[in-house]
Amino acid sequence: MNSDIAARSLRKEFGSTVALKKVDLDVPESSIYALVGPNGAGKTTLIKILMNIHLPTSGRSEVLGTDSRKLAGRCFERIGYVSENQECPNWMTVAGFLRFLQPFYPTWDSKLAAELLARYRLPTDRKLGQLSRGMRMKAQLISSLAYKPRLVVLDEPFTGLDAMVRDELIEGLLSCAEGTTILISSHDLNEIDTFASHLGYLDEGVLEFSEDIESLRGRFREIIITLGSSAALPPGMPRSWLLPEASETVVRFIDSRYDERQTLDDLGRLFPDLKDVAANPLPLRSIFVALAKNNRLQVS
């Protein structure tokens, strides 16, 4: 597997605060990689290290084969970067902003920029400072897509946007980014559930897992078992069984390493009076709610 982004043992400290704890990350070439996790998990810190805005305390990372600490100048001709907190020259009009940027990028495609302006219905004579947040985000995205970068990095691009604007941004991104590697961070799974190919979950500076979406969906199941007597949680349950609870004759838990044969064997061993088993697939949101709850319980 070729990776356009690779990080090894990345750690970042801000004084006594540890924002990242030995993060290992691989973003496959041509993938749409969603980096998700709650607010404050360290997603923006990780992205800023990758973009050489912050230096790591220890560890290293590469972006398009270049040490991220050396990213500068012409390296960014192949990288598009959009952040929710990105500063813009608010006194420039949309058209003036794009004209200003064009000479910096030899691969700038004026036709593509015009197509995106039309798709997003942006008023080219309006100053950036006069645009709504959604319109400013559209202008920033156009400025990062018009030169057809090899890698696009989006840090919480959809925060605070309504569903229609979010969908317009996603459609525009996907329409002209075929073959491009995309790294997008978000704390809201609704934003990325429909189009991401790979997903990493970052929580309190720890990358809990990183894998393709289909693999992730396949290994998580909600297990509901019915017993012939009053339910109780036995000792020795696998650590991969998250949030177990018992009520009357029913036991529920989330199996994070679901394998039909192994799970049934474990259930038969631990629950001799087992009567019925249901193994239900979970939407991504439910998976991450379960992981977040489980992590909080382990800390407390």
Domain ranges of the chain: 3-216, 221-281
Whole-prediction pTM value? 0.87
State residue 299's pLDDT score. Answer: 55
Can you tell me the mean pLDDT for 123-145?
92
Percent of the chain at pLDDT > 90 equals 69
pLDDT at position 300 over 70: no
Confidence band of 126 (pLDDT split at 50, 70, 90): very high
Classify domain 3-216 by CATH number. Answer: 3.40.50.300
CB burial of 186-197 (b: ≥16 within 10 Å; e: otherwise) equals bbebebbbeebe
pLDDT at position 295 over 90: no
State pLDDT tens for residues 64-83. Answer: 999 999 999 999 999 999 98
State pLDDT tens for residues 167-190. Answer: 888 888 888 777 899 999 987 776
Query: Residues 25, 6: contact at Cβ < 8 Å?
Result: yes
pLDDT at position 255 over 90: yes
pLDDT at position 298 over 70: no
Amino acid in the structure at residue 31 = S
Can you tell me the mean pLDDT for 4-11?
96
- 20: Cβ–Cβ under 8 A, 6 or more apart, which residues? 10, 11, 12, 42, 45, 46, 49, 56, 205
